[in-house]
């Protein structure tokens, strides 16, 4: 039993190197490309090759990302518990594991699907590891814009895996994810801005400030909706359900982004967490105004947590102080 638990722990640590939660989104986006190319349900063998090859390509890239960023990861709260940082996987083993997965991905996609799909997956790995991780990320404030191209490759892989071609509608799927990635990641970057600053990574909130970042998120959300609607026009097979969903969810995204932009223009501190546990009461004075406050314990939840600031005032009193929710 003890031996079995040990083996399970080892397997789990290597599995975590692939960033499984992220891969779920990438694999789903590749499936969308496959269904669009087939205009229906693809051949199960081809789909299986896409799922396995796609996961291996993205997972191997993630493992290499953790290998090359191990010194950065240990300085960030979001990544300090990763397997390499905690010593659960040796760096050289993670390096070898990542390379093996990428090579296996190419062979699987080439054998079961086609050369185009295999090459596109390899291109995605190169963009993420060779271009984004090793070069762009620590050199420019536009890192996530450039690096977002790697995350937008999977639908192209999915489309090519079934259709053995890249058409205009496939490129629109690429653009949807390309324009979705920056506002998604910048919202996260606002929440963990201090971590990025400590790690000396020039993310947009660190270099340009939260106000400018919020504006960029809002503008990108508008472009994203327009691109999504154009996709529905070009790929008429997507139908009315796609168009209606695009308008609804795109509209929500724009509304939330605009709300964040208005919040960022206020002088009060921006809320980055949203799950609260009451820890007592206190009265404080801010800019000559008195507030009845509740001491709270907060946990991060992303963009929704920032939007919460629209109806509540938050005052953070130093790194070790208890945050206050003030009305």
The domain boundary, picked from 265, 283, 299, lies at: 265
Predicted local confidence at residue 186, as pLDDT: 92
- Residues 197, 241, single domain; the answer is yes
Predicted local confidence at residue 282, as pLDDT: 57
The average confidence (pLDDT) of the chain is 82
- Residues 40, 157, single domain; the answer is yes
Predicted local confidence at residue 283, as pLDDT: 56
Residue 293, pLDDT above cutoff 70: no
Provide the 10 A C-beta neighbour count for residue 11: 10
* pLDDT (mean) for 158-171: 93
- Residues 143, 23, single domain; the answer is yes
Residue 314, pLDDT above cutoff 70: no
- Residues 102, 237, single domain; the answer is no
Q: Cα(first)–Cα(last) distance of the chain, in Å?
A: 54
Predicted local confidence at residue 198, as pLDDT: 84
For the ranges 96-100, 285-289, 308-312, the maximum mean pLDDT occurs at 96-100
- Residues 277, 220, single domain; the answer is no
83, two tokens? 């397997």
CA distance 119 to 113: 11
For 265, phi then psi, to 5°, come to: -85, -5
- Residues 23, 117, single domain; the answer is yes
The domain boundary, picked from 139, 161, 183, lies at: 161
Choose the weakest-confidence range: 121-135, 199-213, 263-277.
263-277
Contact 206, 140 (CB under 8 A): no
> Under 8 Å CB-to-CB from 175, ≥6 apart: which residues?
152, 227, 231
* pLDDT (mean) for 121-149: 91
More confident residue, 75 or 132: 132
The domain boundary, picked from 129, 161, 193, lies at: 161
Predicted local confidence at residue 276, as pLDDT: 40
Contact 14, 97 (CB under 8 A): yes
DSSP string over 65-79: HHHHTHHHHTT-TTT
pLDDT in tens, 200-256: 899 999 998 888 999 999 999 999 999 988 887 777 777 788 888 889 999 999 999
Contact 326, 293 (CB under 8 A): yes
Residue 178, pLDDT above cutoff 70: yes
- Residues 69, 156, single domain; the answer is yes
CA distance 150 to 306: 27
**% pLDDT > 70, the chain:** 80
- Residues 60, 142, single domain; the answer is yes
CA distance 127 to 245: 31
Residue 128, pLDDT above cutoff 80: yes
Predicted local confidence at residue 199, as pLDDT: 84
More confident residue, 125 or 290: 125
Closest C-alpha to 94, from 82, 106, 104: 82
CA distance 171 to 156: 7
pLDDT band at 134 (very low <50, low <70, confident <90, very high): very high
- Buried b / exposed e over 110-135, threshold 16 CB at 10 Å, is bebbbebbbebbbbbbebbbeebbee
- Residues 23, 84, single domain; the answer is yes
Range of the domain at 180: 167-265
Predicted local confidence at residue 92, as pLDDT: 96
- Residues 80, 7, single domain; the answer is yes
CA distance 8 to 249: 40
- The total domain count for the chain is 3
CA distance 4 to 9: 9
- Residues 45, 192, single domain; the answer is no
Residue 294, pLDDT above cutoff 60: no
- Residues 107, 206, single domain; the answer is no
Predicted local confidence at residue 302, as pLDDT: 45
CATH number where 61 lies: 1.10.357.140
């Amino acid at each position: 039993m003890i031996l079995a638990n040990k083996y399970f722990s080892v397997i789990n640590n290597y599995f975590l190197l692939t960033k499984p939660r992220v891969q779920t989104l990438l694999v789903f986006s590749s499936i969308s490309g496959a269904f669009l190319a087939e205009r229906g349900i693809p051949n199960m063998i081809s789909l299986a090759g896409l799922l396995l090859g796609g996961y291996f390509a993205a997972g191997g890239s993630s493992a290499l990302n953790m290998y090359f960023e191990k010194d950065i990861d240990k300085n960030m709260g979001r990544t300090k518990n990763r397997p390499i940082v905690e010593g659960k996987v040796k760096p050289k083993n993670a390096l070898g594991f990542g390379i093996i997965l990428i090579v296996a991905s190419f062979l699987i996609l080439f054998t079961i699907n086609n050369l185009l799909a295999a090459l596109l997956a390899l291109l995605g790995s190169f963009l993420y590891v060779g271009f984004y991780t090793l070069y762009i990320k620590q050199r420019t404030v536009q890192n996530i814009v450039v690096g977002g191209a790697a995350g937008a490759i999977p639908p192209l892989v999915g489309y090519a895996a079934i259709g053995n071609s890249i058409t205009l509608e496939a490129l629109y799927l690429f653009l949807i994810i390309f324009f979705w990635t920056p506002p998604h990641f910048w919202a996260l970057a606002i929440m963990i801005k201090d971590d990025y600053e400590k790690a000396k990574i020039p993310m947009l909130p660190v270099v340009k400030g939260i106000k400018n970042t919020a504006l960029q998120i809002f503008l990108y959300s508008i472009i994203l909706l327009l691109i999504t609607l154009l996709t529905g026009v070009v790929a008429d097979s997507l139908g009315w359900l796609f168009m209606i969903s695009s308008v609804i969810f795109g509209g929500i995204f724009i509304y939330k982004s605009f709300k964040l932009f208005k919040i960022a223009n206020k002088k009060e501190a921006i809320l980055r967490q949203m799950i609260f546990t009451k820890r007592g009461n206190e009265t404080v004075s801010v800019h000559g105004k008195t507030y009845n406050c509740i001491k709270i314990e907060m946990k991060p939840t992303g963009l929704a947590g920032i939007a919460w600031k629209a109806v509540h005032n938050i005052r953070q009193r130093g790194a070790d102080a208890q945050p206050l929710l003030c009305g």
